[in-house]
Amino acid sequence: MTSIRRRTLTLIIGLLLAGLAVLSTFNVHDSNHEIAEVYDAQLAQNARLLQGVMRMPMDSTEHAQLYQAFNQALGEAKPRVDGHPYESKIAFQVWDPKGEVLVHTASAPSFTAPPTQPGFSDVLDLKGRQWRAFMLEDKQNSLRIWVGERDDVRSDLVDRIVRHTLWPNVIGSLILAAMIWLAIGWGLKPLADMAATLRARHSGSLEPLQMTPLPSELEPMQAALNRMLAQIQEVLGRERRFIADAAHEMRTPLAVLRVHAQNLLEAGTEQERRESLEFLIVGVDRTSRLVNQLLTMARLEPKTNPPPLQRIDLSETVRNSLVQLTPWLLSKQLELAFEDSAEPLHVMASTAAIDIALNNLITNAANFSPEHGVITVTLTQADGFCHLSVEDQGPGIDEEDRERLFERFYSRGNAQGAGLGLTIVNTIATRLGGRITLVNRAEGGLRATLSMPGAQSRPAAQRITRELPQG
């Protein structure tokens, strides 16, 4: 794309030349019209002056002498020596009633017959030259007076006027274009200064721009650049935080895996090798869970432009997720119960976010549930919120640990946990405009409830209790 200066100058000069062309066209038209009016008036005036001379009270002899003197004087005219070149292009003739020429200029055109139509007319002579003529009929003296002027006199005058007008306009336009070029450069100097400032910055510099004074047109650009730099800083901060968290949390599991692998190599008996191998498998599983949790946290970090939420059926989404989790819970000797609502509940969320939140809540419940315990998942609606609750029959939580359970990598009473499950659920709840609450049940165990705004208000639904298939 061409520069702003070149584009602006091209537009301005184009408009200027177009306007100049339009004005020149009108100028030529008006010049032709005004010149025609003036010259036509002169033709009529000359004819009437000549009529006045021809009406002088004289006898026929004196008139003859006057005509002879006229013709002699006009025949001696030398325009290129002591007159004007245009004299040969201006002519007049006078005819008597018999059609004989009484007086005429040497440049007068020849006609096959004297003109008879009075007034203005355009005449083509026998040599093919165009004349603008005025015919005056003097009925008192029975004379016809013809005054004419060649068209090239008028055309030459119009050409001179156009040339004398156009060239100053063209030269003035070029000078004006140069001045506009310099003026645009001066006007764009703050933009050039901003570009120079950006080029001079270090490649890793993310500090906001602080250019003052700044034209009002560039203030939104500076604000947009500063927002972009802040967003880049936020993204880099999340990446650094993820790398630091991953490096911190992976150090210990990897060290433990190395110890188990070393014990496996040094085992003296089959029983020792088997125990070391089982410890190694457990360590690999825990490391895999930790990696998955870290990746999940990275995906759930706040983004500059998060994907739009969709209206989903919460009951159907939860039901599909529980079907996938049932075999795993049965392998851990646990039962799963689902208390659905009488009507489907709709929330503005994403299916993936609900799956991740439910998986983490059920995983936490499974880690603290006794063997053959029951994990109950309940869907309710109240006060415009849809509530997804997961209840277990474990030991519950200590009140002083309630807030810390949402901290990263804080794990209470579960040596295999990564300490990220509830943090992930809390992040999802915040993104959906909801909240996560932890409450100890009176009969024992913990109830974790994820509350989300409903997509539309509905009356509280009657709960339906049923157990999912056992296999």
> Does 399 share its domain with 463?
yes
Number of domains in the chain: 3
Q: What digits encode the pLDDT tens for the residues 92-151?
A: 888 887 888 887 777 778 777 778 888 888 888 777 788 888 988 888 778 888 888 888
Q: List, in sequence order, the alpha helices (H) in 339-404.
A: 351-368
- Averaged pLDDT for residues 179-204: 80
Q: What is the average pLDDT value for the chain, to the nearest integer?
A: 76
Burial 314-342 (b: 16+ CB within 10 A, else e): bbebbeebbeebbeebeeeebbbebbbbe
More confident residue, 1 or 11: 11
Domain identity same for 248 and 123: no
Identify the pLDDT of residue 469: 41
For 450: left if phi > 0, alpha if psi spans -120 to 50, otherwise beta; the answer is beta
- Within a domain: 274: yes
Residue 79 has a pLDDT of 52
Read off the pLDDT of residues 349-379 as tens digits, 9 standing for 90 and up: 877 778 778 878 888 888 888 888 899 999 9
Nearest to 452 by CA among 372, 381, 352, 399: 381
Provide the pairing of β-strand 101-104 with 90-95.
Answer: antiparallel
User: Which residue type does 7 have?
Assistant: R
Could you tell me which residue, 326 or 407, shows the higher pLDDT?
326
Kindly state whether residue 177 falls inside one of the protein's structural domains. Answer: no
pTM summary value:
0.42
Name the DSSP class of 323.
H
Shared-domain flag, residues 154 and 280:
no
| 315 and 286 fall within a common domain | no
- What average pLDDT does this structure show over 7-30? 81
Please tell me the predicted confidence (pLDDT) of residue 377: 92
Amino acid 389: pLDDT: 92
Backbone angles phi, psi at 409, to 5 degrees: 65, 15
CATH number at residue 11: 3.30.450.20
Examine residue 166 and state whether it is found in any structural domain, yes or no. Answer: no
Q: Using one digit for the tens of pLDDT, what is the confidence trace for 265-307?
A: 888 788 888 887 887 787 677 667 656 666 765 665 555 455 5
Same domain, 295 and 339: no
Mean pLDDT for the stretch of residues 330-352: 83
Q: What is the pLDDT of residue 350?
A: 79
Residue 73: what pLDDT? 61
* Position 195 in a domain: no
pLDDT, residue 77, reads 52
Two tokens, residue 185 = 């450069």
pLDDT(470) > 50: no
At residue 468, the pLDDT reads: 43
Please tell me whether residues 49 and 92 are part of one structural domain: yes
Q: Are residues 8 and 152 in the same domain?
A: yes
State residue 390's pLDDT score. Answer: 92
- CA-closest candidate to residue 136, choices 44, 42, 67: 44
Q: How many CA atoms lie within 13 A of 365 on its CB side?
A: 33
On whether both 278 and 319 belong to a single domain, the answer is no
Signed CA dihedral, 66, 69, 75, 78: sign only: negative
Report the b/e string of 71-99 with b at 16+ CB within 10 A: beebeeeeeeeeeeeebbbbbbbbbeeee
Distance, in Å, from the CA atom of 369 to the CA atom of 379, rounded to the nearest integer, reads 21
Indicate whether 203 belongs to any domain. no
Cis-peptide into 459, omega within 30 deg: no
Task: Tell me the two tokens of residue 216.
Answer: 């009002």
| Interval 53-82 mean pLDDT | 63
Distance CA 163, CA 242 (A): 77
Residue 420 confidence (pLDDT):
65
What gap in Å lies between CA 52 and CA 48, rounded to an integer? Answer: 6
Highest mean pLDDT of the ranges 185-199, 317-331, 351-365, 433-447: 433-447
What is the pLDDT at residue 416?
47
Query: Is residue 75 predicted with pLDDT exceeding 70?
Result: no
Q: Are residues 325 and 250 in the same domain?
A: no
Among candidate residues 300, 325, 347, the one where a domain is terminated: 300
- For residue 65, count CB atoms less than 10 angstroms from its CB and return exposed for 0-12, middle for 13-18, buried for 19 or more: exposed
Rounded to whole angstroms, how far apart are CA atoms 336 and 324? 12
What is the pLDDT at residue 298?
62
User: What are the helix (H) ranges across 336-420?
Assistant: 351-368
In a domain, 223, yes or no: yes
Question: Residue 418's pLDDT is what?
Answer: 46
**Within this chain, do residues 350 and 286 fall inside the same structural domain, yes or no?**
no
DSSP 287-309: HHHHHHHHHHHHHHS--SSPPPP
Bigger pLDDT: 266 or 242? 266
Mean pLDDT of 409-430: 64
The enclosing domain of 454 has a CATH number of: 3.30.565.10
| Helix and strand totals (H; E) in the chain | 10, 13
Which residues are within 8 A (CB) of 71 and not within 5 positions of it... i.e. 6 or more apart? Answer: 103, 104
Domain that holds residue 372: 310-467
DSSP state of 454: B
* Per-residue model confidence (pLDDT) at position 471: 36
DSSP-derived secondary structure letter, 405: G
In a domain, 197, yes or no: no
Residue 38, in any domain of the structure: yes
Q: Residue 228: which CATH number?
A: 1.10.287.130
Is the pLDDT at 410 greater than 60, yes or no?
no
Q: Which of 300, 318, 335 is the last residue of a domain?
A: 300
Enumerate long-range contacts of 302-306, CB under 8 Å, 24 or more apart: 302/234, 302/431, 304/231, 304/234, 304/235, 306/431
User: By mean pLDDT, which of 42-51, 227-236, 322-331, 458-467 is the weakest?
Assistant: 458-467
The answer on 319 and 459 residing in a single domain is: yes
Reply yes or no on whether the pLDDT at 54 is more than 60: yes
Whether 270 and 365 share a structural domain: no
Q: Distance between CA atoms of 156 and 326, rounded to whole angstroms?
A: 104
pLDDT at 445 (0 to 100) = 85
Q: What pLDDT sits at residue 376? A: 92
Structure tokens at 77: 């005219």
Average pLDDT on 211-221 reads 78
**Which of 258, 280, 300 is a domain's end point?**
300
